[in-house]
Amino acid sequence: METALQNRLERTLREQAPGLFHFPEIYGQGWSGLYIGDRVKLGNDFLRLVRQGRFEGIEDTGEKKDGGRVYRKLR
């Protein structure tokens, strides 16, 4: 995942209220227009970065719901 996109996601996550969310909510406008392969790749990249601690206060719940992985913002 490109650094510019990581930075944009980080800014969006800072504004996100604590609680559960799906990655497309954080990606924002344009998500549905991406090819399925690009969405899968970006989703996998985000999961990897979350597990590596790149986004402070964000964790993978280990659950999937409504067609996507569920993440949690702690504070």
Number of domains in the chain: 1
What does the pLDDT read at residue 29? 94
- Domain limits for position 27: 3-73
- Which pLDDT tens digit goes with each residue over 13-66? 999 999 999 999 999 999 999 999 999 999 999 999 999 999 999 999 999 998
Sign of CA dihedral 10, 12, 17, 22: negative
pTM: predicted TM-score of the whole model, two decimal places: 0.91
Whether the pLDDT of residue 70 is over 90: the answer is: yes
Q: Phi and psi of 57, rounded to 5°? A: 80, 5
* Amino acid (1-letter code) at residue 43: G
Q: What's the number of CA atoms in the CB half-sphere (13 Å) around residue 2?
A: 4
Where helices occur in the chain by DSSP H, the ranges are 3-15, 23-27, 36-51
